[in-house]
Amino acid sequence: MQVLCNALILEGRELEVSRGTLVLREGRIERIFRGFPPKKGSCIDLKHGLVLPPFVNSHTHVGDSPLREEYLGKTQEEVVGPRGVKFRIEELPRRKVSEAIRETLARMLEAGTLAHCDFREGGVAGVKRLRRLSTPPLRSVILGRPDGSPQEVLKCSDGLGFPSLEAMEKFRGLIPPEGKFLSVHVSETREAEEGSVREFGRGEVQRALELNPSFLVHGTWASEEDYKLLARSRVPIVFCPRSNHLLGCGSPPISRALDLGVRFFLGTDNVMVTEPDMFSELSFAWALVRKENSRAGEEEARRLLAAATVEPASFFRLSWGSLEEGAEATFMVLSDVFWDARRAVATVVNRASRGDFRCLYAKGRRIIRRL
């Protein structure tokens, strides 16, 4: 048994703030209570550290890790389009690519990200390579890209991730096995959205929903009506605000999603473009929300933090999630710098950085510690 005391804890699906103590036993949270244990000397003093669920990065492309900053001076199409610079990865030595991906995965862990969902190019071979490089406790949800039979990719992956609707429509009618995910990029650029409306009379989100995806990615230029459709369908969308800006695509309408009750998560997209750092993604997303709605406060901040933690953990069926009695004892601890219990969630979203990360627990065992 372990007793962790003197902590600020973000409890449950609603990330409610409490001051108190966690009792861990056999990899699970046995008890959460206010105040100190009867014998203070018997506990591990977290010294006012903030305890919260680990991050889930809901959209990555770790395969282009060796190409950091190669996006400079180029348009989105020139970077990630069908003939984009990202495909230079195929010309690099396999060892160099593997080392860069391994470093990226390690850096994610060291900044509190315990799971990510990766769109993985390269068919079966690409999926298997990332599976080899990704080792516990990190959980890689790998969505492969078919370069032949989708069934072969589905056998070794967690689902399929398509770069465009055109690619996904080639497999219209595909019913994935139970527990597998289907996803696709939609409405990332103005050109793609306007082209869809011009050719098909409707936007990419509406067309994508006709293909029964598990979730969508981007939606930067989707219309208000598209977001109303998303809200009714309960199909989540993953926003990647930093990547959208750095590639000149625009700003994802996060405030609109908040207003309409759309289910959404956050991701960092291509490692070539952005560091897979969820602290940075949260603070940038928060700035966009406040730009659109200067009345946004603790509740909006709470929903942003949930979109980076408990919500995707539940959606991707991870073994951990919200911090509550009986749940798996998997969480991170941030240092005591400026926590105010009344505004702890907004402070995390607005100010916390990887420098505030203190340690990570997985199933009750401390696996990463930063002094």
Report the distance separating Cα 180 and Cα 46, nearest Å.
39
- Res 252: pLDDT: 98
What value does the mean pLDDT take over residues 117-127?
Answer: 95
Burial class from Cβ neighbours inside 10 Å (0-12, 13-18, 19+) for residue 280 reads: middle
CA distances from 133 to 2, 69, 138, 222, 267 (A): 32, 23, 10, 35, 20
What value does the mean pLDDT take over residues 328-348?
Answer: 88
The per-residue pLDDT of the chain, averaged, comes to 95
- Res 35: pLDDT: 82
**207 has pLDDT over 90:** yes
- Res 29: pLDDT: 98
**37 has pLDDT over 80:** no
Is the domain spanning 55-315 CATH 3.20.20.140? The answer is yes
**For residue range 160-183, what is the model confidence (pLDDT) as tens digits?**
999 999 999 998 888 788 899 999
- The DSSP code for 328 is B
- Res 66: pLDDT: 97
What value does the mean pLDDT take over residues 116-122?
Answer: 96
Confidence of residue 148 (pLDDT cuts 50, 70, 90): confident
Residues 6 or more apart whose Cβ sits within 8 Å of residue 73: none
Per-residue DSSP letters for 42-87?
GSEE-TT-EEEPPEEEEEEEGGGGGGTTTTTT--HHHHHSTT-GGG
What value does the mean pLDDT take over residues 19-29?
Answer: 96
Confidence of residue 338 (pLDDT cuts 50, 70, 90): low
% of the chain residues with pLDDT over 70: 98
% of the chain residues with pLDDT over 90: 88
Per-residue DSSP letters for 176-191?
PPTT-EEEEEES-SHH
- Res 7: pLDDT: 93
* Tokens of residue 368, six digits: 């990463």
**40 has pLDDT over 70:** no
- Res 206: pLDDT: 98
By three-state DSSP, how is residue 293 classified?
coil
Q: Hey, do 2-53+320-369 and 55-315 end up sharing a CATH topology, with the first three levels equal?
A: no
Domain ranges of the chain: 2-53+320-369, 55-315
- Res 107: pLDDT: 96
What value does the mean pLDDT take over residues 323-335?
Answer: 97
Measured distance between the N- and C-terminal CA atoms of the chain, rounded to whole angstroms: 23
**For residue range 220-263, what is the model confidence (pLDDT) as tens digits?**
999 999 999 999 999 999 999 999 999 999 999 999 999 999 99
The topology (CATH level 3) of 2-53+320-369 is Urease, subunit C; domain 1 (2.30.40)
Confidence of residue 276 (pLDDT cuts 50, 70, 90): very high
Confidence of residue 371 (pLDDT cuts 50, 70, 90): low
Report the distance separating Cα 134 and Cα 132, nearest Å.
6
**41 has pLDDT over 70:** no
Selection from 35-49, 85-99, 336-350 with the highest mean pLDDT: 85-99
What value does the mean pLDDT take over residues 69-81?
Answer: 95
**352 has pLDDT over 80:** yes
- Cα–chain-centroid distance for residue 332? 16
